[in-house]
Structure 1
């Protein structure tokens, strides 16, 4: 069996791939028989909750500029989902067509994402922090005919950037802008989607509660090579990524939960935890359009938050805000940390501030939130002990033959994506290779209790919640006239976040960090890709075959040793 499948010339477009990609019958039959997959989709859950509890808040979205929190109730949400789905059909979107949506945290962003599924399209959510260069690549890979962006966000002119790249994308028929659309000649989102009911004669036949096994969601991620990858999920794989198929005690949430997270709604963690989670539990999701720990705690407290998930840097800010002005948070049951490991001192500090033990969740865009600390588990001494695989997720630890073994981890199960599509029109279908085993790139050890402990990474991916394409950043930095050689490695900053450090061998006078960051901005690179630390070296350590020893560099910048 070959390691990848190259699409035929006549099927080289993304829509054809999405329509054709499905799990093998023997896999689907097994997961259905086990009760992990189901015949319904997230849309069934949405409309059922709306019928039972029409006035229950589905999402609370705080708007910093207005100083208010908007409540989107379930009855309102389904009305907007139907209205937006009709608008997509009116734009010519067909079943299986990709629709790229890049919106900040807002009720429109959530309703539009669900409307893509209602219209039978493939939803392609993109974080608003992604800039012009990467957005163009997403549009090229998907060949989407519709792209929705804000006019501007956090000072970046998204509408102008989309208008600039559009002439190079002949298949992009419609640019839609939330905000000032007239300035760039785009379709006005409010006018076309919100305020217009598109009375299409065939709409009732074209709207759908969807096929649970088709590729319905595409989330982009970048590995350590810098290659942008499109991860294709079905309704079933994405739902299992939330742990919804597992028992309540195992997954940690039940009915009518209130979820809160500081991440962008279109990040994978947020989609699973704070968009799908509320709908599956018949509860509420909380988002801020601008991060503010004080506001997050105020909104979460008034809403009766029960589930709070954040990365270590956010937890540190939340803990400081809680110490300054304690909130009751009387319903908070579960505090979850994701991403980079939380230092033991920070773990104790955060747990003390909220009076709750911290729980860890491991996950990937390709696999969902698959390994987690169980709610009834004793508090961990540190944050490296992740926990146990969720029901149905098998783990395969590949022996390296060492005495104290650290295993490369592979996983297989109902939450693993249908496939991963690469820039070279190559798709790796999960169940056509290695009997469904997916290599995570993580190194783990197994405790005597059976719990998994993360020991490191096979590759050198950097960052959370946004992974940084290391090779692409290195290639751009190498073009700077003051850079002879460069390697980008990760380090943990004082707030517990994982950040990129550029180790540079200079040409003559070494460049400054500001110069390198400004250079990458000029090259059109997304903000979080830029190094936040610079180290200058006389040479880069290499192996006997000439490969840069990034393990040595990581130890060096951590202060453990000086590279030879």
Structure 2
């Protein structure tokens, strides 16, 4: 099997040295960071889903045992595994367990069906699949079986049984594919595997539904930095409670600062499976949620429903909005109606992230998309000939930095269109820079295959 590195574009050595020297990259893998968090915050609540609660110590134990179970099932370092789970604790457990086993999770929205999932399996040469047995009337097990019959490399299917269902045991179909309940992937942990933080931690999808998959390889070093920097930017602490309502496998919910950033400070992650206002606002009230991230459509649903629901949302201190440049009005409603600060976040799973700052004046939050996440993000705004334009003038936004990968996975033609020769990512955003250094995104170039804001979750 080809190495995961064969399809990835590395950072040039001079940039590797620069990001290490700046302290952005620290040489620790995400799964090993979880070990440290579990020691530091052992009795604190890490994950909440409905009535279920999981402490940091229990989360790390389950990750350890599942990682050992994956190894017993034949998963080895470098193997790719498509993970298609909703916002449930098993998503977090399985992703960290796969990383701890040295395998590469490939994040896939739970709403995707056979054609989209099979393309991911083929592109990544995935050996395994993790998904629900059935979810909201769709038979994921049958879908996986159909894909396995046509893609010989897929040989391990791990399914999350519904509560109360009979788990059964290991079965093998006529094509030689093994099917196992995810709950049975449990074994005493063996010696910890050593793997490097410059290796790929996971692959995340970028782009809209129905398009050819564009996979972004995220290394342990660059993603740990992104989540840590975002957590610092919003002043996350162990007293914060983050509501994950967008798909957990989206970059916005996973690490902006999201799930990873919240766990890094000992906070609590509350997982909900859709954006329906009654459930989400009830979770805010019940768990005293302090921070969440939404897209404008979800924010409008909540704002419109709040008067009738009468939920107590006074615990909220920050609502991040995955920004649509044409919709500042939604951000404007956050303060008066939810009683907390809005923060506009702009970017893609594999590109520049910009944030308004919590102490920015309201005028800046409503008028701009903020400033780059990292002090070492390098920005250019260029005209049609690739020449830099003066500040205040519009042009295409280019960026490179310590969390911006240098290429898509196994996509040389796409990379040639999406990156400059000196490594700048062509975001496709049309933007201008204000005198204060904020970026104002005014539109998007149709010929650049990107999307300017995080993927919205499926409807209720």
Q: 1:238 aligns with which of 219, 223, 240?
A: 223
CA contact (8 A) 2:46 2:54 kept: yes
Q: Aligned partners of 1:225 and 1:161: how far apart in 2?
A: 17
Measured against aligned partners, the alpha-carbon deviations of 1:279-319 in whole angstroms (never above 9, x if no partner) come to 22221111112332122122223323221211111111222
**Aligned twin of 1:127:** 109
**Aligned twin of 2:379:** 395
Q: Aligned partners of 1:362 and 1:444: how far apart in 2?
A: 12
Q: 1:290 to 1:332 in 2, by over 3 A?
A: closer
RMSD: 3.1
Q: CA deviation at 1:184?
A: 9.0
Partner SS state of residue 204, structure 2: strand
Q: Aligned partners of 1:294 and 1:247: how far apart in 2?
A: 28
Q: Aligned partners of 1:336 and 1:278: how far apart in 2?
A: 14
Q: 1:17 aligns with which of 6, 22, 32?
A: 6
Q: CA deviation at 1:343?
A: 3.3
**Aligned twin of 1:35:** 23
Residue range with higher mean Cα deviation, 345-354 or 283-292: 345-354
Q: Which sections of structure 2, spanning at least 5 residues, go unmatched?
A: none
Q: 1:187 aligns with which of 179, 190, 194?
A: 179
**Aligned twin of 1:512:** none
CA contact (8 A) 1:384 1:455 kept: no
Q: What pairs with 1:134-153 in structure 2 (closer than 5 Å)?
A: 134-153=116-135
Q: Which sections of structure 1, spanning at least 5 residues, go unmatched?
A: 1-10, 63-68, 468-496, 498-526, 529-564
Q: 1:335 to 1:38 in 2, by over 3 A?
A: same
CA contact (8 A) 1:256 1:278 kept: no
The number of aligned residues is: 441
**Aligned twin of 1:419:** 407
Q: 1:431 to 1:456 in 2, by over 3 A?
A: closer
Query: Which structure has the larger Rg over C-alpha atoms?
Result: 1
Q: Aligned partners of 1:282 and 1:431: how far apart in 2?
A: 37
Partner SS state of residue 429, structure 2: strand
CA contact (8 A) 1:150 1:177 kept: yes
**Aligned twin of 2:350:** 366
Q: Aligned partners of 2:415 and 2:329: how far apart in 1?
A: 41
Q: Aligned partners of 1:36 and 1:382: how far apart in 2?
A: 27
**Aligned twin of 2:68:** 86
Partner SS state of residue 87, structure 1: helix
TM-score if structure 2 supplies the norm length? 0.86
Q: CA deviation at 1:239?
A: 2.4
Q: 1:342 to 1:455 in 2, by over 3 A?
A: closer
TM-score if structure 1 supplies the norm length? 0.71
Q: CA deviation at 1:58?
A: 0.8
Q: 1:110 to 1:372 in 2, by over 3 A?
A: same
Q: 1:240 to 1:446 in 2, by over 3 A?
A: same
CA contact (8 A) 2:87 2:245 kept: no
Q: 1:26 to 1:132 in 2, by over 3 A?
A: same
Q: Aligned partners of 2:251 and 2:285: how far apart in 1?
A: 25
Q: 1:419 to 1:462 in 2, by over 3 A?
A: closer
Partner SS state of residue 75, structure 2: coil
Partner SS state of residue 177, structure 1: strand
Q: Aligned partners of 2:416 and 2:49: how far apart in 1?
A: 37
Q: CA deviation at 1:464?
A: 5.5
Partner SS state of residue 426, structure 2: strand
Residue range with higher mean Cα deviation, 430-439 or 106-115: 430-439
